[in-house]
A and B are shown apart, each in its own frame.
Chain A
Amino acid sequence: MAAEAEVLDELHRLRARVPQLTGALAASVDGLVLAQDTPGVEPEGLAALTAAALGVALRVADATGRGDFRELLLRGEHGYVATYAAGPSAVLTLLAGDRANVGRLHLEGRRAGTRIGELVEAAAEAQPAPAARPAPKALTPRTRTARTARTLPGPTGESR
């Protein structure tokens, strides 16, 4: 993903705008880190767990006819974890303290999710050789078998 620097900029902007945020992470729907700003939290683990939670959430939404995934909110004793859709192939996960303004978290999270989705999509389109990869994988986020799916870089096109 070539959009990494821009996505990271977006995460920094988000953290500057919402002071109660303690971390922000953009990940692909299959659990790979795109960009992260999560001091004190291991980003790879969080991205993988986000993908796993997303997989369950998608199935719950599907089973109850709630349509496409939009967001997930988890509240623990010491704060919130919120995951927002960022286009069809990425998600934005935000960490916030227990005094956080959830209304504001949602507003900023949704907005940033949309923007990150656009950045990721634009980068995917600008990629010179996307034909080597199976193109429709982004459209159906198959997240149950999390990390394994995306880590096959080029089973067909690679010449070595």
Chain B
Amino acid sequence: MTNTETALKETLASIEGATGAALVDYTTGMALGTIGGSKSFDLTVAAAGNTDVVRAKIRTMEHLGLKGEIEDILITLSDQYHLIRLIKGRGGNGLFLYLVLDAKRANLAMARHQLKKIEGDLEV
């Protein structure tokens, strides 16, 4: 079991190519914690914007009558990967982990695997 701060630190330290991460409450669009990022990459802006992404996908699935649940969402930019992992169980409902990866350095399969493990250990 890890807390928010430890989980975010672990995300940035252990995932190759990670440049920023945030734990976001998508019922409000506010970040419970952020790590990394920069002046030109504001993670609170990313938290609010990606809340709309997650909400849109959930709404679309409701309209389509899909019963499954979102595990993660991958957004591929020309030089970055953005990975959104929804948090399951233990009071983590309504939260997601948001991870920014440098596409040149990251191993996407490994990053997804590690993020899944970090999500599993996270206790909010």
* Chain B interface SS verdict (over half): helix
Chain A residue with Cβ nearest B51: A101
* Cβ contacts under 8 Å, B45 to chain A: 107
Q: Residues of B with Cβ closer than 8 Å to A? A: 24, 28-31, 44-45, 47-49, 51-52, 55
The size of the chain A interface, using a CB distance under 8 A, is 7
Q: Residues of A with Cβ closer than 8 Å to B? A: 101-107
Q: List 18 A-B contacts (CB under 8 A).
A: A101-B28, A101-B29, A101-B48, A101-B51, A101-B55, A102-B29, A102-B30, A103-B24, A103-B29, A103-B30, A103-B47, A103-B48, A103-B51, A104-B48, A104-B49, A104-B51, A106-B30, A106-B48
A106 to B31, CA, bound (A): 12
* Cβ contacts under 8 Å, B51 to chain A: 101, 103-104
* Cβ contacts under 8 Å, A106 to chain B: 30, 48
* Cβ contacts under 8 Å, B49 to chain A: 104
A103 to B98, CA, bound (A): 15
